[in-house]
């Protein structure tokens, strides 16, 4: 399966379960780092799969992807999986899981975070607005907190980029909305020192 590149998916207008983005973020816990693997639906911005791990091994990414696949009520056609070029997404087991579910593989071209902006944004929201606000004492508490945070993010937090609705609302209705924020970056940028 030849990778297709969808790094400009911010204007993606398909529907739910047509394009999923992947990323892993770290979170400091006591004297070590924990790693959270997310699968996010681009259309609804819903986190459809996630997994917490104490290592960066591919197993955590496989668990997050399997969780996303388990929430599907029926197989979907045309689903694209977009990620960076991390070893977790290139390993044999991960690629096999994608292929077994007829999911097209897309990867960033250069490893630039701007090629996977929604996934990077989710990381920042989950850590900055939620996880960093709590003190936890055990891995079990971290898992419980992460579950609550994903629930809050999906079912309570309103997003201007999806018409001030929650990701769950959009995911359930599968209706396109207008974004309510303005892009202040000029469309015709002037290059300096071409």
79-129, pLDDT tens digit by residue?
999 999 889 999 999 999 999 999 999 988 876 667 788 888 999 999 999
Mean pLDDT lowest among 6-10, 68-72, 147-151, 162-166: 6-10
d(CA 46, CA 175): 14
Phi, psi of 6 (to 5 degrees): -120, 45
Query: pTM above 0.75?
Result: yes
What are the start-end ranges of the E strands in 94-183?
104-107
Distance in angstroms (rounded) separating the CA atoms of residues 120 and 123: 5
The arithmetic mean of pLDDT across residues 160-166, rounded, is: 92
| Domain boundary assignment for the chain | 9-173
Residue 12 pLDDT class (50, 70, 90 cuts): low
pLDDT higher for 122 or 3? 122
Please, is 24 exposed, middle or buried when counting C-beta atoms within 10 Å of its C-beta (0-12, 13-18, 19+)? buried
Between CA 17 and CA 93, with CA 36 as vertex, the angle to 5 degrees is 65
- The C-alpha atoms of residue 37 and residue 14 are separated, in whole angstroms, by 24
What average pLDDT does range 15-38 have in this prediction? 94
> Is 90 exceeded by the pLDDT of residue 42?
yes
| Residues whose CB falls within 8 Å of the CB of residue 69, separated by 6 or more in sequence, listed in order | 49, 97, 101
Q: Return the pLDDT at 145.
A: 96
Can you give the pLDDT at residue 137? 94
In whole angstroms, what is the distance from residue 90 CA to residue 157 CA?
32
Between 192 and 75, whose confidence is greater?
75
Q: At CA 41, angle to CA 120 and CA 75, rounded to 5?
A: 145
Q: Which residues face 36 on adjacent strands? A: 25, 52
Cβ contact 49:71 at 8 Å: yes
CATH placement of domain 9-173: 3.30.420.10
């Amino acid at each position: 399966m030849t990778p297709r590149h969808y790094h400009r998916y911010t204007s993606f207008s398909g529907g739910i379960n047509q394009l999923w983005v992947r990323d892993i973020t770290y979170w400091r816990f006591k004297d070590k780092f924990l790693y959270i693997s997310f699968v996010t639906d681009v259309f609804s911005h819903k986190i459809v799969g996630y997994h917490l791990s104490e290592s960066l091994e591919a197993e955590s990414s496989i668990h997050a992807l399997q969780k996303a696949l388990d929430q599907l009520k029926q197989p979907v056609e045309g689903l694209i999986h977009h990620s960076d070029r991390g070893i977790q997404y290139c390993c044999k087991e991960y690629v096999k899981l994608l292929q077994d579910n007829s999911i097209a593989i897309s990867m960033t071209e250069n490893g630039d975070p701007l090629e996977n902006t929604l996934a990077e944004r989710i990381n920042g929201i989950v850590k900055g607005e939620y996880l960093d606000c709590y003190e936890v004492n055990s891995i079990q508490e971290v898992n419980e907190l992460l579950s609550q945070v994903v629930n809050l993010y999906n079912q309570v937090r309103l997003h201007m980029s999806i018409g001030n609705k929650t990701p769950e609302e959009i995911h359930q209705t599968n209706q396109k909305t207008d974004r309510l924020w303005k892009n202040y970056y000029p469309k015709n940028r002037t290059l300096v020192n071409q």
